[in-house]
Amino acid sequence: MTTSEMLQRARRAVPAVAALTAEERTAALCAMADALEAGADRILAANAADCAAAEGKISPVMIDRLMLNEARIAAMAQGIREVAALPDPLGRVISSSVRPNGLCIERVSVPLGVIGIIYESRPNVTSDAAALCFKSGNVCVLKPGKEAAASASAIVGLLKEALLPFGAADAVNIPEDTSRAAAAEMMAAVGLIDVLIPRGGAGLIRACVTGSKVPCIQTGTGICHVYVDAAADQEMALKIIENAKTSRPSVCNAEEVCLVDRSIAPEFLPKLKKRLTDCRTAAGKPPVELRLCPESAVIIDGTPASDTDFDTEFLDYILAVKVVGGVKEAVGHISAHSTGHSDAIVTSDPSAAEYFLNTVDSAAVYHNASTRFTDGGEFGLGCEIGISTQKLHARGPMGLCELTSYKYVVRGSGQTR
């Protein structure tokens, strides 16, 4: 089947998938989870072929992301079961009113239609994304990186078998061709795909956002800031910064830039250096390399920051550090350099906190907490398909409700205008 034929089939499946009841969708998700476990041998054989083909071509870290085993397949199945157990996002009456003419108007949540996901080499994204899209009544088209093609195809094949008894085998789709040509065809599929969600590195996201004719949700890139105000509890600030920077440096909600108020910089920066480098080295943990602005470099030792260091998502044990003159200058710097993901202030001054929370224009703004909380699970959404850094449709972690649209249902008794 060509990619074009597959996209047509996906589109045609929309009404049947949207018409499934909440109970049917939940039962189908449980069947999907069971199918992955029952078919683990097929997935592992395909994954072994993927890993063998990728050997020597991608880094050991990437091979580890690609590699599946029984435990990882069980975790994928468990992930589907957790999605199955979440509240139904469809048919919610978001608002309702009775107009003076007697018309009863309800705004009711409905599926988006066909969601395209373009991702990279993690095979588990296949089942995650399929489960979230299906739970929200959507058809999905999943385009993995070519390294994960055999694994993803095996997973989709099993999911389709599980969906067949529900008349919904075409709810989950994968192109036979997993090259860039298929991605380009998806980006051009106006009228067939309703929204495209890229999941992966900055290059992939940029390619989708700038190249897609289909509406696209910009996800992921995070140059996150923590600003330590003059009135900060400095011990709290150290704890938050170490957590935001080092608990998982490779993720988008990790801190990349620390801004410090000038009045406390001579006191705070030596503590910061001690906490992030000396103490961590002594404890056998990876130390953080500090990239210092000229003013902070006078106070502590570190690498001089280059022109690009305040605009870089390091995704590593590296932190850019800059001295600023108060909360307004901090917000100004963030406005100029942030990717609009997650930014935090540490302060005991309520007015500085409110100014920061009101003025920083990011998906998530924090007072006295780590940026690492920007996550669907941590925000109570139960799951997430990605973190939107755009303002249209959804912003921040996208859970099941963010995978829905709505329609107006109007009930009358012969009203005319």
Q: Which residues bind its own copies (CB under 8 A)?
A: 14-15, 18-19, 97, 99, 103, 105, 110, 112-113, 190, 194-195, 209-210, 213, 215-216, 233, 236, 239-240, 242-244, 247, 335, 353, 357-359, 361-370, 372-374, 378-380, 390-393, 395-396, 405-417
Q: Residue 207 is which amino acid?
A: A
Q: CB of 161: closest distance to its own copies in angstroms?
A: 27
Closer to its own copies by Cβ: residue 312 or 359: 359
DSSP string spanning 24-57?
A: HHHHHHHHHHHHHHHTHHHHHHHHHHHHHHHTTT
Q: Which is nearer to its own copies, 65 or 395 (CB)?
A: 395
Max alpha carbon distance in the chain (Å)? Answer: 79
Nearest to 386 by CA among 61, 81, 129, 180: 129
How far apart are alpha carbons 163 and 171 in whole angstroms?
8
Q: Please state, in angstroms and rounded to a whole number, the distance separating the CA atoms of residues 150 and 140.
A: 18
Burial of 262 (0-12, 13-18, 19+ CB in 10 A): middle
Q: How far apart are CA 23 and CA 109, in angstroms?
A: 17
Ramachandran assignment for 216, one of left (phi > 0), alpha (psi -120 to 50 degrees), beta (any other): beta
CB of 242 to its own copies, least distance (A): 8
The candidate with the shortest Cα–Cα distance to 148, out of 253, 56, 53, is: 53
Q: What is the closest distance, in whole angstroms, from the C-beta atom of residue 126 to its own copies in the complex?
A: 23
Q: How far is the CB of 208 from its own copies (least distance, A)?
A: 12
Query: Which residues are CB-neighbours of 394 under 8 A, at least 6 positions away?
Result: 217, 388, 402
What phi and psi, each to the nearest 5 degrees, are found at residue 141? -120, 115
Give the torsion sign (CA, 321, 323, 328, 333): negative
Q: Tell me whether residue 60 or residue 414 sits nearer to its own copies (CB atom).
A: 414
- Cβ closer to its own copies: 157 or 379? 379
The residue (of 304 and 350) whose beta carbon lies closer to its own copies is 350
d(CA 408, CA 108): 6
- Alpha carbon distance 42, 55 (integer Å): 20
Instruction: State in angstroms the smallest separation of the CB of 127 from its own copies.
Output: 25
Shortest Å, Cβ 226 to its own copies: 11
Instruction: Pick between residue 66 and residue 228 the one whose CB is nearest to its own copies.
Output: 228
Q: What would the two tokens of residue 324 be?
A: 């600023």
Which residue, 58 or 184, is less far from its own copies as judged by CB?
Answer: 184
Choose between 223 and 244: whose C-beta lies nearer to its own copies: 244
CB of 147 vs its own copies, minimal distance in Å:
29
Q: Give me the least distance between CB of 87 and its own copies, in Å please.
A: 14
Please, which residue, 215 or 286, has the CB nearer to its own copies?
Answer: 215
Minimum CB separation of residue 173 from its own copies in Å reads: 19
Burial class (CB in 10 A: 0-12, 13-18, 19+), 313: middle
